Amino acid sequence: MAKAKKKKAGMTMLAWIMLAVMAVGLILSVVGIFTDWITTKGEVLGGLVSGDSSQTLQDLFESQSDFRELDEDYSIKYFDITYTCAWITLIAVAAAFGCFLVGGLLKMKLLKTIGMIAGVLAIVAGIMAAVFTALMGKEMSADAGIASATTSLAVGCYLTLIGGIVGGAGAIISGASK
């Protein structure tokens, strides 16, 4: 009987598909970081006057920096951890994508392992960014009887969350496949 020859081709079709999935997750994370992160809806006199505004992470960062110049103890509650988790999500998805691309082309198993770890980190950090953004929005919301303001997650936060989950899942699936 003839023995089956072992295939020595580079990356498998599943690895290429998961690499494309990680690329989509990376794109979603990048777009999410730079678009509106939170939305504030205000209302006065029971809805007689209302308005909406949105802020990106950079807007929030600059706002906090401006207020810290006046009062060094000032901080938007939960902003620092939200900002950190959002950037960790983006960096982890990029690292997973890079590790799997280079590791797949050079057949390095160490990069595959690092890519899987980065994928898990991307998922966790994406979820934490959304959770801390929701907590920050709860702190920023106010109700003073005749006037109220409600702060909630905007499209950027959702895109970063989805990008972290998609990119991280792609890394885990690709790393777990043989």
> How confident is the model over 21-69, as pLDDT tens digits?
999 999 999 999 999 999 999 888 877 788 899 999 999 999 888 888 8
- Provide the β-strand partners of residue 111: none
CA 139, CA 154: separation in Å to the nearest integer?
16
d(CA 25, CA 31): 10
The pTM of this model reads 0.86
**Per-residue pLDDT reduced to its tens digit, 36-45:** 999 999 888 8
Q: Are strands 142-143 and 147-153 parallel, antiparallel or unpaired?
A: antiparallel
